[in-house]
Structure 1
Amino acid sequence: MDLRQLRYFKEIVDQGSISKAAEVLHMAQPPLSMLLKQIETHYGTPLIKRYRQKWEITEAGQMLYNHATHMLQQMEMFDVKMDYMMQGEMGQLRLGVSSSCIHLVGDVIRQFSQSYPKVELQIFKGDSEKLEQMLFNNEIDIAVILAPENSEQYEEFPLTPSPFALAVPKNWSNQIDLDVVSIQNLMKFPFISLEAMEGYSMLENIIYYLKEKNISLNIVAKCKDITIAQYLVAKEVGISILPKIQLGYVDGIHFVDLPELEIAIQPKLFYKQEATFSPICRNFIALFKSNT
């Protein structure tokens, strides 16, 4: 049986007569009577007992009526969900956010969740190299990461760049004259270095800058994650050269500008062209751009 037959049978029972059901359905009575007979023939049992003055539904008819009611309700719910999905108001969005860009997405995520409460937002965190690979492999839909050297395969939207600066623990200010800081004088301090990431040149640029100054650092730790590097500086493990971004540990850090170090991180919103076919992705991208 198809949904049309179920709908017609349910209407017959709801109206209490074939003639009234035919009127509601805007059809002639004979085809509706024939449909009822076809259903009864199909199941090999009466569904409605007919008397001269009245009729009553049989046990089999009641079972079919319950089934028809359930199926039609499910179909109606599916239609509503499909409409939500086509409008980008229901479904799932897989968003990758690097730790160095998390401060750029909080307000957008809050507004998106408020505007589209039926969309499940699945957030992936990691370094930019890992998330770019996930985007390439279609494991996420959108990535907010540091811009790699080669990004021609993606659509992109640039965000505000953050320059690199010398990151010093605040409690070390009595050991370092922060007003006349010279990077050559910092060689004695333990140094926390960012690790190289495939497709990113910022570490190479910093190393090149330091080599030009004939500076050999006392490296005590290396990490790819800027958040971890900031945490280690705040905990007085050492100094570092990091982007001036507002992450969770900047209260324990003093940033010193290095004007001669012309290096900055460039965060961007990345997505593949096919992501624009998804109404959910389009809604998120539009909201993100309008907030930037």
Structure 2
Amino acid sequence: MIKLKPLSYFKTVVELGSVSAAAERLYIAQPPLSKALSQLEEECGVRLFERSSRGMTPTEAGHYLYQRACTLLQMTAEVEEEMRAFGEGQRGMLRIGTVSMGIPRVGQMMQAVRQCLPELSFSLYQGDTGYLEELLEKQRIDLALVHLPLTSSEVPNRMIPLAHSSFRALCHPGSPLAQYSTLNLKQLSLYPLTLLRRKSGFGVYEQVLQSFAKRGLKSQVFADASDIPMMCYLAQQNMAVALLPV
């Protein structure tokens, strides 16, 4: 099997035309270099050089091997550089999960990362917090933008708070609530609501109900949903007021 180092030696000898010049360029002694060239000829089974007092001239086989060696060594250098970039996180794929309301923030983050790491690509996943926690546990995503609280003790505890969640009420333009710029829970308790609910675990749905209960108010949950577009549809049809975490 032909190894890369002898090919590199061979390429240098062809380009400089002599063993002495190549040895000086490669910072090695002439005897080891001559031995490496002889072993390369034995491995190839052909003579690679015409040797004369004027120097080393490649044979037809030597010219062919030189062309292939240039290609192979260039490819090897590129692969090494690419692997180094992967190791330093400059290339590869970043797998990001996000809840629906986190999509704009993810977009901003992707733009910022791409400016620093133009070779990095992304794979995006969208779902509720419980689903994204599951993907993190299975190491199918690298990071996730989620709503607190987390439910799984298996998720790595490297957590960075980005912002405190607030809520926006989405209602039909004809709703009496549409005239207000801000709303309180007492006002909302008078209307049917649609709330975001996780498929499992404690989340936004339970937090909202607790907030009503702490104030002695009874909420009117018309429908819970795991899909924000469905909540928006119910609000547009004047069937419920959608409380959306932002």
Choose from 188, 191, 201 the match for 1:186.
191
Q: What TM-score do the two structures reach when normalised by structure 1?
A: 0.70
User: Which stretch shifts more, 155-164 or 109-118?
Assistant: 155-164
2:59 corresponds to 1:58: yes
Structure 2's unaligned 5+ residue stretches are none
Distance 2:133 2:121 in 1: 21
Contact kept, 8 Å, 1:129 with 1:197, in 2: the verdict is yes
State which of 156, 159, 164 in structure 1 corresponds to 2:162: 159
| Alignment of 1:84 onto 2:89 | no
Q: 1:91 to 1:177 in 2, by over 3 A?
A: closer
- Give the CA deviation at 1:9: 0.7
- Pair 97,7 (structure 1): closer, same or farther in 2 beyond 3 Å: same
Q: For the Cα contact (< 8 Å) 2:4–2:73, is it kept in 1? A: yes
- Percent identity reads 30
Q: Residues 165, 85 of structure 1: CA spacing in aligned structure 2 closer, same or farther, 3 A cutoff?
A: closer
Task: Give the TM-score normalised by the residue count of structure 2.
Answer: 0.82
- 2:205 is aligned, of 198, 203, 206, to 203
Give the AA of the match of 1:168: C
Q: What is the Cα deviation at residue 185 of structure 1? A: 3.7
Which letter does structure 2 place at the counterpart of 1:161? H
The structure whose RCO (Cα within 8 Å, separation 6+) is larger is: 1
The Cα shift of 1:201 comes to 3.5
Q: Distance in 1 between matches of 2:45 and 2:242?
A: 83
Q: Is the 8 A contact 1:166 1:239 kept in 2?
A: no
| RMSD of aligned residue pairs (Cα, Å) | 2.9
Give the structure with the larger strand fraction. 1
Aligned in 2, Cα 1:88/1:216: closer, same or farther, shift over 3 Å? closer
2:33 maps to 32
Other-structure match for 1:224: 226
| C-alpha separation in 2, matches of 1:29 and 1:216 | 90
Which whole-Å CA distance do the structure 2 matches of 1:55 and 1:216 have between them?
92
- Write the deviation string for residues 27-52 of structure 1: whole angstroms up to 9, x where unpaired: 22232222222221222221112244
- Flag structure 1 segments of 5+ consecutive residues without an equivalent: 246-292
Contact kept, 8 Å, 1:10 with 1:65, in 2: the verdict is yes
What number of residue pairs does the alignment pair up? 238
Q: Which residue of 1 aligns with 2:171?
A: 168
